[in-house]
Each structure stands twice: as C-alpha cells, then as structure tokens.
Amino acid sequence: MSFNLIRSCPSCGTKNRAPVPHLADDGRCGACQAALPPVNEPIDADAQSFDPIVNEASVPVLVDFWAGWCAPCRMVAPEVRELAREMAGKALVLKIDTEAQPALAARFRVQSIPNLAVFKDGALVHQQPGAVPRAEMRRWIENAS
C-alpha cells in the first residue's frame, strides 16, 4: 500500500490524495478535473512520511536538513525552494526540521546544518553539509537520475 500525500487543487481547493510514486507526474483533481502539476515546492517531511517518500518516489529526492535558528539554512532555503520549482517532474525536495525530527537527523549523522542529501530508489547517493549553490544541488540530482 502506497503512502499518499494530500494536495490541494489550485482551481477548486479540493484536497486530493496523491500516491508518492505519482508526485512527479501530471494528474487531475478528483472533483473538478483541473490539472494537478507535479509537486513543485519543498515537502515538509517527518518521521512518518520520510521513508515512504524516499523509498517510493519515482525520481531522485533532495533532502534539506535544516533548523529555524540556522542562518545558513535560511540563506539556502530560497535556493532549495527554487530548485524544487525548476526540477518539478524530475525530482522531489524534502525539508527536515532537525529540531522537530532529531531521530532522522541522527540516522543520517547530520552534525552540521544545512545538510543536503540526495536519495534515489531509497538509497543515499550523496550527502554534504553546508550551503551550496543551486547549480551544485541540481548537478547532484542529475547525476542520480
């Protein structure tokens, strides 16, 4: 059974269940039949949603481990958000708040933030601490494709 993300229709506001394997696909609203584009913004993930998304995604997943008090995290956040927009349909972007999800941060040995990781088919393929340019993050994702 696939994990579902709830997405609101941009036309009518109806909440639609979107299975993780289809988050990078074009879809249709169940109520008004309007187009639901691929996810094009970072997904705030938690311990319950992290594994299903990383394991079931049909595209690479960039994970941004961050915290609200972290100035470099706040600096890289607009780049991560823009990357999610640019890579819609080709990648998913998750944000993990390390203050709210310390077990996930510990699981991936996150000792400094921001910490960026790329997963493909559930496997960690790249991880790097520190803020980097969006072009570098894009290159990681493209290499994982």
Catalytic center residues: 70, 73
Tallying the residues shown for the chain, one arrives at 145
| C-alpha to C-alpha distance for 22 and 19, rounded to whole angstroms | 6
- Count of CB atoms within 10 A of residue 102's CB? 12
Separation between Cα atoms, residue 96 and residue 36, nearest integer Å: 24
Q: How far is the C-alpha of 142 from the C-alpha of 145, rounded, in Å?
A: 5
Cα gap 82→67, rounded to integer Å = 19
